[in-house]
Chain A
Amino acid sequence: MSEKLPSVDVLVVGFGWTGAIVAQELTDAGLNVLALERGKWRDTPTDFAPTFAQDELRYMWRHALFENLAHNTLTIRNNTSQTALPMRVMGSFLPGTGVGGSGVHWNGQTWRFLPSDLEVRSHVTRRYGAKAIPADMTIQDFGVTYDDLEPHYDRFEYLCGTSGTAGNLNGQIQAGGNPFEGARKRAYPTPAMRQAYAPTLFAEAAAKLGYHPFPQPSSNLSEAYTNPLGVQLGPCTYCGFCEKFGCGNYSKATAQTTILPVLMRKPNFTLRTEAEALMINRDSTGKRAVSVTYVDAQGREFEQPADLIFLGTYALNNVRLLLLSGIGTPYDPRTGQGVVGRNYAYQRTSFVNAFFDDKILNPFIGAGAHGMHIDDFNGDNFDHGGLGFLGGGYFGVLQTGARPIETHPVPEGTPTWGGAWKKAVAANYLKTTTISTHGGVMSHRGNYLDLDPTYRDVYGRPLLRMTFDYTDNEQKMAHYITDRAADVARAMGPREIKVVYRDGSWDVVPYQTTHNTGGAIMGADPKTSMVNRYLQSWDVSNLFVMGASAFPQNPGYNPTGTVAALAYWSLKAVREQYLKSPGPLVHT
């Protein structure tokens, strides 16, 4: 039996980006906050020291920072006709664990969604008519607008010190920035990163074709920065070890480098590590969450009561914890009814290699969010009339460091091993670059999350089951933008290019992105959303669910900026409305 502990005002389950933001905001509001984190404590000087942080074998290939799949994983299938099997090796996505969550090993790509992304169903209906949306495409509006989120995007960017060039300042289009972005109230806190040679070549070629290249907004900082909390970040050294790595130079914005130094000093905050939540418990009415049962590293069970509970355990884990706790109606793809697990989405990626003879590109110079992109083919920035698909993505040269075990692009026709392969790697490593596309995924009736009927985790709980595949929409979209990327690649003047569309079903093996979204989506209707526009559970009003699980579909951008903006947006409502008058913030 579990030991019952003294109650706290606020319990945060999961201590990554959103957990840290929640704890920071609500301790500021004077509440006693306790955070539970299943993984271990991690801090920059101890765990990501620059003397050992850049170890590709240990971190990338042996997954030092990621979830331990022997402990817990999920099962995967492309469609309901298949039997889902457990993911036993990390591939397509890399969920993290430990203090800071996946925000420790993220790339620092800090985007805002387009205004039209947040209102996609209304927007598409307005521009192309309701018929443009296929019957099984279950996209819906977020329930918040870009204008609602703008101050919160701004808040997160200034927390991180994000480096970038504004493209739209208060409606005025700015040279050198992304002209398609929503209007921002002020410039980025730090200037854009300096660009290496290959991104510069991309930008020149894209501009020549009439597109609008701009530097990737980056939370790997171009210069030293002290954020509004007084926490300091150092200038990025372009070492090229961001994605899948912790940063030893305090240059990548993470909970550790932006919030924790202040939060951990507060007497009204407590962090409990190696505490894995098993269940959210409710009272007899089922409408109020009363506690969370968790297990510690020694297998002891505890029940932690709280007045207010926030889930911030990563999109996939949020959904699983809701399903395991019986909160919300599970989604059923046959009927299209139910909310928990609904509208799971991912990202659609592809790439084009460009091989040069005459240009030394030094691809080992890099950072997780260092590069030049165009946004001309993202969202609804271009006319979809007659194209047969919705959505899009950005693409560009993102030079993240070309780490040696991972990176050995060779031209088409090269043998996959042996002397000829080695020779081709040696000949091309310094002279190759890659344009990668980052496409959105619209939600679809058949893509969802539920509990696996067969496989269980180390505690005997059912694993999460993911049923996901790309639909015709994503395949057409990917072809369209990959072909545009190939146009730019050719305009860069290479010897040859190689186009990789990634056709066929979604494959769990090659790494793509850790952008798993949906499953506990936000919206205006309790029948089609798990949480309201403030990320508050429709059914259990003292439960808030943070993270990308709230995305009704996944636009063509990296999610972290919006995840954080939504957290700040939600917390504003909690502070200004909920704490004064606890209960549902939206009435239906």
Chain B
Amino acid sequence: MRAPLQRALVTGLLSLGILVATLSLVAIGLSGIANGQPPSATSGPYPPVKDPDVAKGYYVAVQGDCVGCHTVPGGLPFAGGRPLVTPFGTIYSANITPDKDAGIGRWSADDFYRALHEGKAPDGHLYPAFPYNYYTRIGRADSDALFAYLRSLPPSPNRSPRNDLPFPFNIRALMMGWNLLFLDVGEYKPDPAKSAAWNRGAYLVEGPGHCAACHTPKNLFGAPRTSRDYHGGDIGNGWYAPDITPNKRTGIGGWSDEELFQYLKTGRNVHANAAADMGEVVAYSTSRMTDDDVRAIIAYLRDRPARADDSPEKPDPAVMKAGEAVYIDTCAACHRMDGAGSMAMFPRLPGSPNLQQPNPGTLIRVLLVGSRSLPTDARPTPTSMPAFNWKLRDEQIAAVATYVRNSWGNAAAPVDVDTVTKMRKALGADRRTLPDGFPTDMHHPNPETVSSPHTDSRQNGTDQAGTAALGQP
């Protein structure tokens, strides 16, 4: 197991003895994956399971969303090789199929348990990009079941590319120091004062679900700041994983249990459509969980302390007026004049936690480059937000972002133009970059377009884009 990775804790590379002050506090999300399209739903991602013992392990894999990171688009599930671009370089997920050379075919169940629990593979320390600081809560029986599931998969000889990490981040032994400081080894211990459902939810959230990897801000060493558990975290590339505490304005406090259930089971509710990282989490993990497990997650999150509310700065009325004009012209067709949207299609904007995060990153990103939800069995339509990078100026985007953050009872700090300019630059979304599908020369078929029996839609990322899975932008 050469380079396991995980969606958030790239900054865990930092360890004792390394100067961290100039390095990013930003944990990198899956959205940082180069050319990142998630594996398609049509080609899996989960191979059919028949053996009931193996099925138990499949369900552990679902809880941990292993397939999300360990599969490249169109590739064999769990065969690894998915690139993660980080400020430190690119690292690649491991092949965890049972191939003896390229995968984990020579591992024992003990080896596997140690990897989950202590972040140690037979050949050395793992980077905490692989979320062992959460997986350590998984019990031995589940670990063995997961291992048996992985052993049942078709082996793939796929070798992940070598990590492209400069010195000193390429020294795995540095992780020993990180583990000493931040790794709390141990299986989940139930709280006897709480209900069984609460404990089940706590286990799923704190353990295999590794929710905090994205939703909790990180300290200087890339470890979760436990004092601000689930307050929301910048996960890089513009995305901000929102507050999921019971805060009524920015968290899940304004959502009913049923709405939370709809979101986790189908990816959609009246408030939001799951896209990008969370789209994958829903498509590959929560939508495949039992109803009871999803309700347990909700019960646990509901019972956590709410993030203390702040009183955001009031916007400039002139900016609000400008923002309203942009909203009417470009947003109201789908989201409606009153922001009511359309259930499970176009999110309702009044009360939207996504809009009111202290960090407006997700909103700006989505305005600039759009987003597309991932299909689930219950909600197969790939709903989308179009890109406006080519159509709106930075001032217009800042104004409309400020407007939607402060209309219909919403309240959040105004978005300044500079923030939009920086995000636009970081995303490479200048005004000349036209969106995919923008017709440029309709009379001359693109000579580079290849169609053959070897590029069927089911293997062809372009063809699947709209209907199967798509994470970018």
Residues of A within 8 A of B (CB): 3, 5, 40-52, 58, 62-64, 68, 70, 224, 226, 229-232, 234-235, 237, 239, 248-250, 256-257, 260-267, 269-275, 296-298, 300, 302
For B330, what are the chain A residues with a Cβ–Cβ distance below 8 Å? 51
In the assembled complex, B16 has its CB within 8 A of some CB on chain A:
no
Interface bits B57-101 vs A (CB < 8 Å: 1, else 0)? 000000000000000000000000000000000000000000000
- CB pair B437–A46 under 8 Å, yes or no, is yes
In the assembled complex, B333 has its CB within 8 A of some CB on chain A:
yes
Distance, CA A480 to CA B435, complexed state (A): 50
Distance, CA A9 to CA B388, complexed state (A): 44
Q: A50-B386, A250-B383, A302-B452 are in contact. List 15 more A-B contacts (CB 8 A).
A: A5-B453, A40-B449, A41-B463, A44-B384, A45-B466, A64-B442, A230-B378, A256-B466, A257-B381, A264-B468, A271-B457, A275-B451, A297-B450, A298-B450, A300-B452
Of B112-120, B231-239, B340-348, B409-417, which binds chain A?
A: B340-348
Say which residue of B449, B453, B467 sits within 8 Å of A274 (CB atoms). B449
- CB pair A239–B465 under 8 Å, yes or no, is no
For B435, what are the chain A residues with a Cβ–Cβ distance below 8 Å? 46, 49, 51-52
Distance, CA A504 to CA B453, complexed state (A): 49
In the assembled complex, B295 has its CB within 8 A of some CB on chain A:
no
Max chain B CB contacts within 10 Å: which of A5, A43, A300?
A43
In the assembled complex, B379 has its CB within 8 A of some CB on chain A:
yes
- CB pair B451–A230 under 8 Å, yes or no, is no
Say which residue of A46, A49, A272 sits within 8 Å of B457 (CB atoms). A272
For B379, what are the chain A residues with a Cβ–Cβ distance below 8 Å? 230, 232
- CB pair A229–B452 under 8 Å, yes or no, is no
Q: Shortest beta-carbon distance, B142 to chain A, in Å? A: 28
For B372, what are the chain A residues with a Cβ–Cβ distance below 8 Å? 45
Chain B residue at minimum C-beta to C-beta distance from A273: B451
Interface bits B370-384 vs A (CB < 8 Å: 1, else 0)? 101001011111111
- Which residues of chain B from 183 to 221 have any CB-CB distance to chain A below 8 Å in the complex? none
- Which residues of chain B from 459 to 473 have any CB-CB distance to chain A below 8 Å in the complex? 462-468
For B439, what are the chain A residues with a Cβ–Cβ distance below 8 Å? 47, 58, 64
Distance, CA A49 to CA B385, complexed state (A): 8
Say which residue of B42, B346, B445, B456 sits within 8 Å of A272 (CB atoms). B456
Would A50 and B466 be within 8 Å (CB), given that A45-B372, A64-B439, A264-B42 are in contact?
no
Chain B residue at minimum C-beta to C-beta distance from A47: B437
Residues of B within 8 A of A (CB): 41-43, 330, 333-334, 342-346, 370, 372, 375, 377-384, 386-388, 391, 435-439, 442-443, 445, 449-453, 456-458, 462-468
Distance, CA A226 to CA B388, complexed state (A): 28
Distance, CA A257 to CA B382, complexed state (A): 10
For A302, what are the chain B residues with a Cβ–Cβ distance below 8 Å? 452-453
Distance, CA A250 to CA B381, complexed state (A): 10
- CB pair A62–B391 under 8 Å, yes or no, is no
Chain B residue at minimum C-beta to C-beta distance from A261: B380
Would A270 and B458 be within 8 Å (CB), given that A5-B453, A231-B380 are in contact?
yes
> Can you list 15 A-B contacts with CB-CB less than 8 angstroms, sorted by A residue number?
A41-B463, A42-B466, A45-B386, A45-B466, A47-B437, A50-B333, A50-B334, A51-B387, A224-B345, A230-B378, A257-B381, A260-B467, A265-B380, A270-B456, A296-B451
Distance, CA A297 to CA B381, complexed state (A): 29
For A68, what are the chain B residues with a Cβ–Cβ distance below 8 Å? 443, 445
Max chain A CB contacts within 10 Å: which of B330, B451, B463?
B451
For A249, what are the chain B residues with a Cβ–Cβ distance below 8 Å? 333-334
Distance, CA A45 to CA B383, complexed state (A): 7
For A231, what are the chain B residues with a Cβ–Cβ distance below 8 Å? 380-381
- CB pair B384–A45 under 8 Å, yes or no, is yes
Max chain B CB contacts within 10 Å: which of A63, A68, A234, A263?
A234
Distance, CA A267 to CA B44, complexed state (A): 8
Q: Shortest beta-carbon distance, B457 to chain A, in Å? A: 4
Q: Shortest beta-carbon distance, B286 to chain A, in Å? A: 18
Chain B residue at minimum C-beta to C-beta distance from A238: B333
Chain A residue at minimum C-beta to C-beta distance from B332: A237
Distance, CA A239 to CA B332, complexed state (A): 12
For B464, what are the chain A residues with a Cβ–Cβ distance below 8 Å? 264
| Closest 3 pairs (CB-CB, A-B) | A43-B466, A45-B384, A264-B467
Q: Shortest beta-carbon distance, A551 to chain B, in Å? A: 30
Q: Shortest beta-carbon distance, A63 to chain B, in Å? A: 7
Q: Shortest beta-carbon distance, B168 to chain A, in Å? A: 43
For B386, what are the chain A residues with a Cβ–Cβ distance below 8 Å? 45, 49-51, 248
Chain B residue at minimum C-beta to C-beta distance from A302: B453
Say which residue of B342, B381, B388, B436 sits within 8 Å of A46 (CB atoms). B436
Max chain B CB contacts within 10 Å: which of A40, A45, A231, A300?
A45
- CB pair B463–A273 under 8 Å, yes or no, is yes
Distance, CA A274 to CA B446, complexed state (A): 11
- CB pair B42–A267 under 8 Å, yes or no, is yes
- CB pair A271–B382 under 8 Å, yes or no, is no
Distance, CA A224 to CA B452, complexed state (A): 38
Say which residue of B41, B453, B456, B463 sits within 8 Å of A265 (CB atoms). B41
Q: Shortest beta-carbon distance, A313 to chain B, in Å? A: 17
Would A232 and B381 be within 8 Å (CB), given that A272-B451, A273-B463, A274-B449 are in contact?
yes
Distance, CA A524 to CA B14, complexed state (A): 79
Q: Shortest beta-carbon distance, B264 to chain A, in Å? A: 17
Distance, CA A234 to CA B345, complexed state (A): 7
Chain B residue at minimum C-beta to C-beta distance from A232: B381
- CB pair B463–A235 under 8 Å, yes or no, is no
For B437, what are the chain A residues with a Cβ–Cβ distance below 8 Å? 42, 45-49
Say which residue of B391, B451, B453 sits within 8 Å of A51 (CB atoms). B391
